[in-house]
Amino acid sequence: MIVLQGGDELTKKTLYIIDGFAHIFRSFYAIKHIDNNAVYGFTMFLKKLLETENPDYIVVAMDSKEPSFRSQLYKPYKANRQAPPEPLVRQIPLVQEAIAAFGIRAIEKPGYEADDIMGTLAREAVKHDVQAVLVTGDKDLLQLVKGDQIVYHDPNKGNLFLKEQDVPGFFGCKANQIVDLLSIWGDASDNIPGVPGVGEKGAKSLIEQYGDIETIYENLDQIKRKAYRAGFEKARDSIELMKTLVTIKTDLNLEFDLESMKRPQWNQPCLIEFFKKMGFKSLIEQTHVALSTIAKDYPLVNSESDLESWLNRIRQTGSVFFDLETSSLTPHDAQIAGISFALGAGDACYIPLRHKGTDQAWTDLAESKLKSLFEEPGILKCAHNLKYDYSVLTARGWNVSGPFDDSMLMSYLLEPRQNRHGLDYLAEHLLNYQTITFESVCGKGKDQIAFNELTAEQAVNYAAEDSDIGFQLWKRFQPQIEERHLSAVYRDIERDLIPVLAKMELNGVLIDTDYLKNLHDVLEDQIAVLQGEIYALAGEEFNIKSPKQLGVIMFEKCGLPALGKTAKTKSYSTKQEVLEKLAARGYELPALLLQYRSLTKLQSTYVDKLPGMVHPKTGRIHSNFNQILTETGRLSSDNPNLQNIPIRTSWGRKIREAFVARPGYVLLAADYSQIELRLLAHFSEDPTLVKGFLTGEDIHRRTASEIFDTELSEVTDDQRRMAKSINFGLIYGMGAFRLSQELGITRKMATSYMETYFSKMKKVPEFTDRLIAETRQSGEVRTLFGRVREIPEIQSRNKSLQARGERLAVNTLIQGTAAELIKLAMINLDRALTEMNSKAVILMQVHDELVLECPLEEADRVARCLVETMETVLSLSVPLSVDVGRGPNWKEAKA
């Protein structure tokens, strides 16, 4: 069932009409380092569409080799386009062969474009009471969208589906106004000039005001802008031609035979033969896996002879996929109910350990033999979310040895934009398989029982299925990781980081609960003071936490300038960004409100919550470090979220003071100094930045010296602060407007500073421009270690989306590489501490900082090891620099 943007579902039968060449071109430019990349990418696209969308009917619309009728009407039409590169042209017949191998019908018509075929097929589908889904990234086709009968679908925009009512919010005008809008705006990619002097913004404004071209001409003398009036006068004789060129035809003479467009069974033998011909090994493997029968009655291993048989098979194979069934998601509390193994698709078993009726003698015997297996080096242990299983086994005293593999991590690296990598979701969307639900086995609600309360016979199929499905996903992902050139980042960073993170989570960190109780009281007093000051400025008491009441107070009673309203309720916006803008203008009330919100959030999120997170067994809090949530590769954490503790505010530092070392130990805090700027220097090779880091200068003072044309020794603190904002602003794509707000200067002055920066450090804009151009062509960016992030926004015709894509390209390379550096440092540090036989342990990783707990007597040598490990993790064109501190708590260690 397809869910549209507004939440409605496609309930009729669906005809998916694919814009063939749009997806062929995207595959060619998006996938690198693979022979026949357009064929491979298009094949993967078709396969994924069939698996995830499950259309009733499907067809591919192709452009004709013959010139379009539009070229005959207007010779310059698309004349500006360069011929497609030869490697792409060579692959087009192979793509057509792939379409045929899938059993999908392809349609082209001499003299017409794929858009016209799509328009005609969509209209015919509606006549046959079939919903048409236009699968394309070309927004021109939005003109065809009609009710929920003809729907626009861009699978590269977060699986975007739009019906007619969604078009204005997405494109800026109604679907039936798009032809007129494009006629005015023009289309540079198709060499359609439009109305001279009227661009995208002007065209949208005029259409919004007048509705259509005819009404604009009727009211031409009412248009205020002289350039617009002149442009329309000049285009009076050509505007109808422009409309013809941008209008998609819906009345071609085509055979509309639904039977010939029925969804095929994609895993048929001829498709496998095509994959063999093309050398697409991973697709061959995936197709065989999809064809394999998943067992429903798995063997229950509850005798010593059966267990020995499985253990011998595992040792002979040299690898095993496994999954634990436990009593808790918290490793320190989890009892192992049983372990399942898989050695092939459908070849899985379950070993019960703690179930209703399980004999204790069997549990002891089985656990002993299993512990030996898991402690055996050389056997590849694979799991889905290995960190959890590793943590549970380690908490029980098992010294689990590698090597390891994790199918969930593989899924994340292959699809970082996707936020769902769970076993059940992947089974459904990649294997077309519905897994057994926990509720179907253990019941629901108040009648639900714990998994270990089941008998082993009741548990076996649910448990063994997890390893079976996990094994099939693992086998599916292995060749894809190789083909996408992700092996290095997976093998050397993400996979090796698993045991490091698991140990960090098990270690946990000690907090001073008495200190937090006292801090609560201090915060309460400060919040009460702020509350009183806010009421005094407002002239009355009100609910400060109510956006509606706050909006009335600020913008109606106090007369502050309103900076927008919420889209949903149309009430005044009082979000953080609005308050910051008003505070920057010198208004006292929003400044107090920002302080109030900050303190109440700190109180509720940390001061009051942290004591309740202390584990009763360990007396410590155990944060969860997430490896698969961010597209840049940065780690995040929850329970608690360590990354969100403010660093620069005094109250944030007071929160850090609650994180303490145990008696006889000290906390060491080490963080990379200006790591992202150092990476910018490395990638851009800018001589000023490189020289500054090589000579150990204060890089912000050096930048200020260049911008303000003053001697290094004469740079003021204020100039340094401005230079620092510019330096970091570049990494995060900050424009002149944002910079002016941050520095409290005019936009003109901010623009001048940035222009000076770029003129003095020419290599920086050259690097960012080059990176943006490469990302625009490929649709993706790779970090230094090869992590891939798709950025479809950069190829959008929407200017704001395009700008966002450009910011993401630079940010991903810099921030993603920084994340990989600190991950490598964590891996190397963990090994170094083991080799030193040190009792020091890594507790936390926050942004560019590592926090360790170390015996007092080891502090000096561990600090030296920490600095050396972090600074030598990788050789760049500029040195890495690490600041390290120590103290009884995190605040003092950081200082």
Name the pLDDT band for 631 (thresholds 50, 70, 90): very high
Radius of gyration of the chain (CA): 31
Same-domain pairing of 71 and 165: yes
For residue 846, pLDDT over 80 is answered with yes
Q: List the one residue out of 152, 124, 108 whose CA is nearest residue 258.
A: 124
Say if 743 falls within a structural domain.
no
Say if 528 falls within a structural domain.
no
Same-domain pairing of 644 and 501: yes
The two three-digit tokens of residue 259, written as one number: 């039977």
As a whole number of angstroms, the distance between CA 337 and CA 326 comes to: 5
pTM above 0.85, yes or no: no
492 CA to centre of own chain: 21
Of the ranges 85-94, 282-291, 328-337, 690-699, which one carries the lowest mean pLDDT score? Answer: 282-291
As a whole number of angstroms, the distance between CA 537 and CA 540 comes to: 8
For residue 288, pLDDT over 60 is answered with no
As a whole number of angstroms, the distance between CA 15 and CA 591 comes to: 55
Same-domain pairing of 255 and 388: no
As a whole number of angstroms, the distance between CA 458 and CA 354 comes to: 13
pLDDT digits (tens, 9 = 90+) for 300-322: 999 999 999 999 999 999 999 99
Q: Is 875 exposed, middle or buried (0-12, 13-18, 19+ CB in 10 A)?
A: exposed
Say if 473 falls within a structural domain.
yes
As a whole number of angstroms, the distance between CA 80 and CA 546 comes to: 56
Alpha-carbon distance values, 476 to 421, 427, 788 (Å): 14, 11, 19
Same-domain pairing of 151 and 125: yes
Q: Which residue has the higher pLDDT, 719 or 610?
A: 610
Position 569 scores a pLDDT of 58
pLDDT digits (tens, 9 = 90+) for 476-512: 999 999 989 999 999 999 999 999 999 999 999 999 9
pLDDT digits (tens, 9 = 90+) for 356-381: 999 999 999 999 999 999 999 999 99
The secondary structure element, H or E, covering residue 403 is none
End-to-end CA distance of the chain: 55
Alpha-carbon distance values, 774 to 268, 605, 725, 771 (Å): 38, 42, 27, 5
Same-domain pairing of 299 and 252: no
With tokens 């010779």, the residue in question is 75
As a whole number of angstroms, the distance between CA 16 and CA 567 comes to: 32
Same-domain pairing of 477 and 491: no
Position 224 scores a pLDDT of 86
Could you write out the three-class secondary structure of 286-331? HHHHHHCCCCCCCCECCCHHHHHHHHHHHHHHCEEEEEEEECCCCC
Specify the DSSP class assigned to residue 189: G
Position 755 scores a pLDDT of 87
Is residue 605 a contact partner of residue 319, using CB atoms and an 8 Å limit? Answer: no
Per the structure, the count of domains in the chain is: 3
Is residue 310 a contact partner of residue 280, using CB atoms and an 8 Å limit? Answer: no
Position 64 scores a pLDDT of 87
At 341 the three-state DSSP class reads strand
Say if 560 falls within a structural domain.
no
For residue 5, pLDDT over 50 is answered with no
Residues, the chain: 895
pLDDT digits (tens, 9 = 90+) for 526-577: 999 999 999 999 999 999 999 889 999 999 899 888 877 665 556 788 888 8
Q: Which residue has the higher pLDDT, 2 or 75?
A: 75
pLDDT digits (tens, 9 = 90+) for 177-233: 999 999 998 888 788 888 998 888 889 989 988 999 999 988 888 888 888 999 999
Q: List the one residue out of 877, 863, 870, 875 whose CA is nearest residue 825.
A: 870
Cross-strand bridge partners of residue 342: 321, 348
The two three-digit tokens of residue 30, written as one number: 């998006």
The two three-digit tokens of residue 683, written as one number: 């990638």
Say if 1 falls within a structural domain.
no
Q: List the one residue out of 240, 271, 221, 313 whose CA is nearest residue 97.
A: 271
Q: For the packed helices 763-778 and 675-684, what is the interaxial angle rounded to 10 degrees?
A: 80
Same-domain pairing of 322 and 415: yes
Domain CATH number, residue 393: 3.30.420.10
For residue 627, pLDDT over 90 is answered with yes
CA atoms within 13 A on the CB side of 767: 20
What amino acid is encoded at 883 in this protein?
Answer: D
Could you write out the three-class secondary structure of 709-767? CCCHHHCCHHHHHHHHHHHHHHHCCCCHHHHHHHHCCCHHHHHHHHHHHHHHCCHHHHH
Q: For the chain, what is the mean pLDDT?
A: 90
User: Could you tell me if residue 146 is left (phi over 0), alpha (psi between -120 and 50 degrees) or otherwise beta?
Assistant: beta
Residue numbers of the domain that contains 353: 292-484
Same-domain pairing of 325 and 452: yes
The two three-digit tokens of residue 202, written as one number: 């002007």
Q: List the one residue out of 66, 60, 39 whose CA is nearest residue 107.
A: 60
Same-domain pairing of 449 and 316: yes
Quickly list H helices, 396-435. Answer: 407-414, 423-430
At 845 the three-state DSSP class reads strand
For residue 121, pLDDT over 90 is answered with yes
pLDDT digits (tens, 9 = 90+) for 129-144: 999 999 998 889 999 9
pLDDT digits (tens, 9 = 90+) for 407-430: 999 999 999 988 889 999 898 778
780-782 and 788-790: which strand pairing? antiparallel
For residue 292, pLDDT over 50 is answered with no
Among 10-24, 582-596, 674-688, which range has the highest average pLDDT?
A: 674-688
Average pLDDT over residues 767-792: 92
Average pLDDT over residues 596-601: 93
Domain CATH number, residue 660: 3.30.70.370
Q: List the one residue out of 507, 506, 505, 497 whose CA is nearest residue 823.
A: 497
Say if 589 falls within a structural domain.
no
Same-domain pairing of 298 and 359: yes
Of the ranges 5-14, 67-76, 116-125, 759-768, which one carries the lowest mean pLDDT score? Answer: 5-14
User: DSSP of 190-249, one letter per residue?
Assistant: GTB--STT--HHHHHHHHHHHSSHHHHHHTGGG---HHHHHHHHHTTTTHHHHHHHHPPP
Say if 199 falls within a structural domain.
no
Same-domain pairing of 320 and 426: yes
Domain CATH number, residue 42: 3.40.50.1010
Strand order in the sheet with 160-162: 105-107, 57-61, 14-19, 131-135, 150-154, 160-162
Position 201 scores a pLDDT of 87
Same-domain pairing of 332 and 424: yes
Position 291 scores a pLDDT of 45
Say if 514 falls within a structural domain.
no
